[in-house]
Amino acid sequence: MNTVKGIYHNGIIEPMIKPGINIPTEVLIIFPEEIKTVKKIGGLFKNFSIGYSQIEADLKELNKNAEDSLLKKIDNE
């Protein structure tokens, strides 16, 4: 059994890395028991709101950049 981390949003699960399986395969999806939310933001950021969609986009971009960097290192070896 292999694990692949992903992001769930709007009824869709997007894996953070491409699984090594190319055929339709049964999967087991496990969600955390409780969803953690920020109750109150304090300090310097108390008047700011959290842009969850922007956070998700930033994480996807960072993940892609990390993958590209690793692939370049592998190609250079």
Q: Is residue 36 part of a domain?
A: yes
- How many domains does one find in the chain? 1
Query: What confidence score (pLDDT) does residue 28 get?
Result: 84
pLDDT score of 38: 65
What band does 70 get if pLDDT is binned at 50, 70 and 90?
confident
pLDDT of residue 58: 92
Whether 61 is covered by a domain: the verdict is yes
Residue 68 lies inside a defined structural domain of this protein: yes
pLDDT tens for 5-30 read 888 888 888 888 888 888 888 888 88
Q: Is residue 50 part of a domain?
A: yes
Threshold 0.75, pTM exceeds = no
Q: Does 51 reside within a domain?
A: yes
Residue 1 lies inside a defined structural domain of this protein: no
Q: Nearest Cα to 5, choosing from 54, 63, 53, 47?
A: 63
CA distance to 7, 11, 18, 27, per residue, from 23 (Å) = 21, 21, 13, 12
| Residue 48 resides in a domain | yes
Range of the domain at 35: 6-76
- Segment 37-46 mean pLDDT: 72
For 58, what's the count of Cα atoms within 13 Å in the CB-facing half-sphere?
5
